[in-house]
Amino acid sequence: MIDVEDLIALVRNYNPRSNSDLIRDAYEYGMRMHEGQFRHSGEPYFTHPIAVAAILTEMRLDDSTIVTALLHDTVEDTRSTKSEIAQIFSPEIADLVDGVTKLTNLELSSTQSKQAENFRKLFMAMSRDMRVILVKLADRLHNMRTIRSMRPEKQVKKARETMDIYAPLAGRMGMQWMREELEDLAFKVINPEARNSIIRRFVSLQKESGDIIGQITADIRNELDREGIDADVFGRAKKPFSVWRKMQEKQLAFSRLSDIYGFRIITRSEADCYRALGVIHHRWRAVPGRFKDYISQPKSNGYRSIHTTVSGRDGKRVEVQIRTRQMHEVAEAGVAAHWAYRDGVRTKNPFAVDPAAWIDTLTDRFEGEDHNEFLEHVKLEMYQDQVFCFTPKGDVMQLPKGATPIDFAYAIHTRLGNSCVGAKIDGIRVPLWTRLKNGQQVDIIAASGQRPQATWLDIVVTGRAKAAIRRSLREEDRDRFIRLGRELVRVSFEHVGRKATDKALRTAAKHMGVDGAEELLARIGSAEHSAKEVLDVLYPELADQQEELEGRPIAGLEADAAFTRAGCCSPLPGERIVGITYRGKGLVIHAIDCPVLAEYEDSPNRWVDLQWRDGRHPAAYSTTLDLTIRHDAGVLGRICTLIGQQGANISDLDFKDRKPDFYRIEMEVELRDHEHLHAVLTALEAESDVAQVSRIRNPDLKP
């Protein structure tokens, strides 16, 4: 256990003007409050708050944050109170301790609705004082470092929560080192076999190739010295989880993985960054598409660096990051750099962002949205990388990777997004579903009277765009959705012998966090909720009865009711579905976004609310893919093998177009569900011999 004088020395290393008496008093108070308490490992409990404080000294944080770390569990676990801490220390420290206590009580890994509500509370706490989440992240890091003393089931729960929430949050805040360590510690619990396998391969590779990191580091230093560039060079192997994730994403074996080593060049000036980049590219061949300049286009959390990947020694790909010392401090501390101290004063790092402004980029304009939409928006912001595009006037718009012109329009203004009818990228007209790339100029074409289309929800990726589209659709079609929702609820309730009374709907709306019965009906009609969810809330005891009907793939059908999948949309398990009754044909299942459904909007009595049952479905649902592949020996065989490796079966193959260099094929495959389709499409898109692949839906194939 670190004693108080050692902790004070850690703080004084970067802040000689630190209030040592304050830290000493907090240390003694915390030790006294936690006396007699022990951790699962058998150690005195106070070793944990001290370790959290020590982690925060690595970020060079102020005295109040260090003291908060020492006291962060006192209000929750001891007889201490917020008012007592305010009286002994300060109201500021009491508020920080109270904020951490409230975050500790959030069950972030609970059910979807509860998780969404708590996520909003987490970000509200962050918006009040970012230091609260910094203490909480340090608290989680130490708990993950010592997780082996917990029960196995508790380890898995904490590890998944860390992987899903705290690690990406640390990364989004710019603390990449903490994200990587949290991910790797969680990976060690969730999939220890995979992690050990990667570590063994690293050891084997080192035996075969020697000290690759030292060799490449020396090569880079020699090149920089030759050009007279004063810089520090560091190299490291990437963390096991980072390597494993890349193997999964690219479907590659470890032996085929290239850039598993990373190197940093820390220069004295920004000009030297670009000089060093020239040296690297002159000496080694740059890998196309792997260059990013975050110095000229910094991330919202203040991160600045040049990233490039080159073919280094023996053809091995290595990633090189180039930045100045000040940029490196922000890259290490992220948003926390705002509080960093050096020589007793807060560091005036020009690249550190204002935490209040940063948190606004995650939460602005979402005050009126429900918890689930807020959660969707924040998770998109946390998990996705960024692209930078330009308006015709030269303004820079920062968007998540995969964003489209519609996202771009909504990022400028909701009115522009709602009235968007087309777009030009670098002067060329493009479809609205085009994915934007770094550096492109985007010109939005708008028209008065245009309204958002429901299909846009499948095109856009930003939470702001999704929320604005849903809001517009609800306003425009509210009456129609209410009528449709009422009919779907009526049919579902009658199916289980109940009546959909206004009181029942109001009760369900209250439990589901929806503002009133009409709003609930509108959301059911617009497919945001299902009538089955209402039944589950009001009559949970009926869920078991429904599951006992039969082992059929679709819930909501009579025991002997026949059904067929619509050929126009070929819905898969996992997709939102609805049934339409046809005279002489029985019930036909459509995907909720099938354009054919528009023909039956005025016949709500023909609609039946349905849902795929949970669980693993057999690979028996045919779906047609449109592929354009390179015309070369063995390519078609490799494509078929690749699909087989994904557990899908090819049931039909039709050559639609034969060119000297490319074939266009329609291929019918049998799949389990929508996730299975996504896995097959991802694997095909990653194949260099596949120029294009998409799912075919044909509205002309009506039932």
Domain boundary among 320, 346, 372: 346
CATH number at residue 616: 3.30.70.260
pLDDT at 684 over 70: yes
- Residue 606 CA to its chain's centroid (Å): 39
**Single-letter code of the amino acid located at 373:** E
Say yes or no: 24 and 155 in one domain. yes
Confidence of residue 380 (pLDDT cuts 50, 70, 90): very low
Residues of the domain holding 534: 477-548
Say yes or no: 493 and 574 in one domain. no
Asked, for residue 422, whether it belongs to a domain, the answer is no
Q: What is the pTM of this model?
A: 0.54
Say yes or no: 613 and 626 in one domain. yes
pLDDT tens for each residue of 519-578: 888 888 766 777 778 888 887 766 544 443 345 688 777 656 778 888 888 899 888 888
Which two structure tokens, joined as six digits, stand for 331?
A: 């890259």
Distance CA 162, CA 159 (A): 5
Asked, for residue 140, whether it belongs to a domain, the answer is yes
Alpha helices in 448-601 (DSSP H): 463-495, 502-511, 517-525, 531-538, 541-547
pLDDT at 576: 87
Structural domain total, the chain: 4
Q: Is 329 a catalytic residue?
A: no
pLDDT tens for each residue of 276-297: 999 999 988 888 777 888 888 8
Greater model confidence, 463 or 335: 463
Asked, for residue 370, whether it belongs to a domain, the answer is no
- The residues, ordered by sequence, that sit 6+ positions from 98 with a Cβ below 8 Å of its Cβ are 75, 82
Among the listed residues 25, 43, 76, 689, the single catalytic one is: 76
Say yes or no: 247 and 152 in one domain. no
β-pairing, 577-582 vs 607-609, is antiparallel
Distance CA 379, CA 120 (A): 11
Among the listed residues 43, 77, 219, 666, the single catalytic one is: 77
pLDDT at 111: 47
- Reduced to 3 states (helix: H, G, I; strand: E, B; else coil), residue 694 is strand
Greater model confidence, 24 or 390: 24
Distance CA 280, CA 262 (A): 14
pLDDT at 383 over 60: no
Which two structure tokens, joined as six digits, stand for 690?
A: 């596949």
pLDDT tens for each residue of 203-258: 777 676 667 788 889 999 999 999 999 999 998 887 888 778 777 665 555 555 55
The total of other beta-carbon atoms located within 10 Å of residue 659's CB is: 9
Say yes or no: 184 and 214 in one domain. no
β-pairing, 306-311 vs 386-390, is unpaired
Instruction: Tell which residue, 178, 160, 158, has the closest CA to residue 169.
Output: 178
Distance CA 308, CA 289 (A): 9
Which two structure tokens, joined as six digits, stand for 381?
A: 């912001």
pLDDT at 106 over 90: no
**Single-letter code of the amino acid located at 17:** R
Asked, for residue 418, whether it belongs to a domain, the answer is no
Say yes or no: 566 and 514 in one domain. no
Domain boundary among 155, 190, 225: 190
CATH number at residue 78: 1.10.3210.10
Q: Is 515 a catalytic residue?
A: no
Say yes or no: 198 and 179 in one domain. no
Asked, for residue 372, whether it belongs to a domain, the answer is no
Alpha helices in 72-211 (DSSP H): 74-77, 82-88, 91-104, 112-128, 131-145, 152-161, 167-172, 176-190, 192-209
Q: What percent of the chain has pLDDT over 90?
A: 23
Asked, for residue 173, whether it belongs to a domain, the answer is yes
Say yes or no: 51 and 163 in one domain. yes
Say yes or no: 643 and 540 in one domain. no
Distance CA 15, CA 11 (A): 6
Say yes or no: 685 and 582 in one domain. yes
